[in-house]
Amino acid sequence: MRMNRPPAGLELPTPPAPLARLSQQLGHRIADDIRRSGPVSFEHYMRMALYEPGLGYYVNGLHKFGASGDFVTAPEQGKLFAGALARQVDEIARSLTGDYLIMEPGAGSGALARDLLSTLSHRPQRYLILETSAALRAVQRETLSELPDEVLQRIEWIDAPPDQPFDGVIIANEVADALPVAVFSIGKDGLQERCVRVHGDRLGWVDQTPRPRLAGAFADLQERLGKQLAVGYSSEICLDLPAWLETISRPLRTGTVLLIDYGYPRSEYYLPERSAGTLVCHYRHRAHFDPFVWPGLTDLSAFVDFSAVADAGARCGLELAGFTTQADFMVAMDAHEAIEAATDEATRMRLAGELKRLIMPGEMGEKFKLLGLCRGMEKPPSGFAFSDQRHRLQASSAAL
């Protein structure tokens, strides 16, 4: 078994030998699975590439976040994003009676938890971090160790959401994009599932009859889109999304789920110009589209279908509280005030640069969206007040 090399024209830094060996080990393990039982769904491949114990991207203990990693998320840019979220959480907390909790699935480096806990005026009684990766838990503990003991005592790492109902806020930033996706393509004879096989001695794509679960989800998608996707069209469906949302939101008695990610409403997700799908790979700040290059060293993600999130929320009994861009959320939360409050020019310049990255359309401002789901709340969160674009979630493609 040889490692897949970057395709012609794609310049990627070569990983150091020990990391290349780790990737090779994972590649062998995936290939063994395929040799044993035939081609695997892309979903299976993505799950192994990201979460295979000891080897997968999120569990192998290598550095991922920030300038020296593979990508930079909003909480890694500085404190403005957490500051805006803190204002939103404070508002929600004020409307709840008694103690409240924050639960953060997929806390990455722990930067958001640290900055929220040091900014909130109304701190939660407990801050629950639902993290599947033991390696990332260690990183989070390190990041959070700078908080005072009184705050640290409120943080708890959990393997599953609590059984007991709670009032509070669930925040998931860039987690839904890391859920494994199934990939489909439309062939001349109809729907195909894009699977992974061993070609000679390398990993590669192969199209197969779709699993019934994908076929059912695709039929539902076509109906909701109100149009047929053309032959040659390929894209993704996150089959795990409804179950994931149900699991994290089940104990929420009163409160709000805030989901932040890159994605589109359904009608924009499956546009003709996205006929090759939205799957994207990140390695050392280079984005590319070949998921078989350096498995375990490369982040794999797919854009989020926010209409699917809203539908899944409705099935969990959650009410749609709003949908907006990250830029409009930051405006609604008066993020610029931090710049005005800066006492020196250097800080002002730094914060202005940070805000620009968070809100400019060519950076994170338009690509990233916030979707709010609530249960038992009287007022919608103010973060959606500046521009609530929920109408985009229900539009059919035929209307575009």
Applying CB under 6 A, which residues contact ligand SAM? 58, 65, 73, 75-76, 105-108, 112, 130-133, 136, 173-175, 178, 244
Judged by beta carbon, residue 229 or residue 245, the one nearer ligand SAM is 245
Nearest to 263 by CA among 311, 302, 299, 209: 302
The minimum distance between CB 157 and ligand SAM, in angstroms, equals: 11
Alpha-helix runs per DSSP H in 121-275: 134-144, 149-152, 212-225, 241-249, 266-269
Judged by beta carbon, residue 74 or residue 351, the one nearer ligand SAM is 74
The minimum distance between CB 197 and ligand SAM, in angstroms, equals: 26
- Other beta carbons less than 10 A from residue 12's beta carbon: 18
Judged by beta carbon, residue 266 or residue 282, the one nearer ligand SAM is 282
Judged by beta carbon, residue 86 or residue 186, the one nearer ligand SAM is 86
Question: How far is C-alpha 14 from the chain's CA centre?
Answer: 27
The minimum distance between CB 399 and ligand SAM, in angstroms, equals: 32
Judged by beta carbon, residue 132 or residue 222, the one nearer ligand SAM is 132
Could you tell me the two tokens for 22?
A: 């780790």
The minimum distance between CB 145 and ligand SAM, in angstroms, equals: 18
Judged by beta carbon, residue 39 or residue 263, the one nearer ligand SAM is 263
Alpha-helix runs per DSSP H in the chain: 17-37, 42-51, 74-77, 80-95, 111-119, 134-144, 149-152, 212-225, 241-249, 266-269, 306-315, 326-332, 337-341, 345-359, 391-394
Nearest to 269 by CA among 298, 311, 299: 311
Judged by beta carbon, residue 229 or residue 335, the one nearer ligand SAM is 335
The minimum distance between CB 191 and ligand SAM, in angstroms, equals: 27
Residue 347: left if φ>0, alpha if ψ -120 to 50, beta else—which one?
Answer: alpha
Measure the CA–CA gap between 151 and 115, rounded to whole angstroms.
Answer: 12
The minimum distance between CB 90 and ligand SAM, in angstroms, equals: 20
Measure the CA–CA gap between 392 and 400, rounded to whole angstroms.
Answer: 10
Judged by beta carbon, residue 58 or residue 294, the one nearer ligand SAM is 58
Q: In the beta sheet, which residues pair with residue 279?
A: none
Residue type, 229: L
The minimum distance between CB 95 and ligand SAM, in angstroms, equals: 25
The minimum distance between CB 207 and ligand SAM, in angstroms, equals: 27
The position carrying tokens 């491949």 is 45
Residue type, 97: T
The minimum distance between CB 142 and ligand SAM, in angstroms, equals: 14
The minimum distance between CB 261 and ligand SAM, in angstroms, equals: 9
Judged by beta carbon, residue 73 or residue 256, the one nearer ligand SAM is 73
Q: In the beta sheet, which residues pair with residue 194?
A: 207
Judged by beta carbon, residue 64 or residue 194, the one nearer ligand SAM is 64
Query: How many C-alpha atoms does 309 have within 13 Å on its Cβ side?
Result: 34
Measure the CA–CA gap between 76 and 53, rounded to whole angstroms.
Answer: 26
Residue type, 47: R
Could you tell me the two tokens for 77?
A: 């840019």
Residue type, 67: A
CA distances from 360 to 161, 337, 354 (A): 35, 17, 10
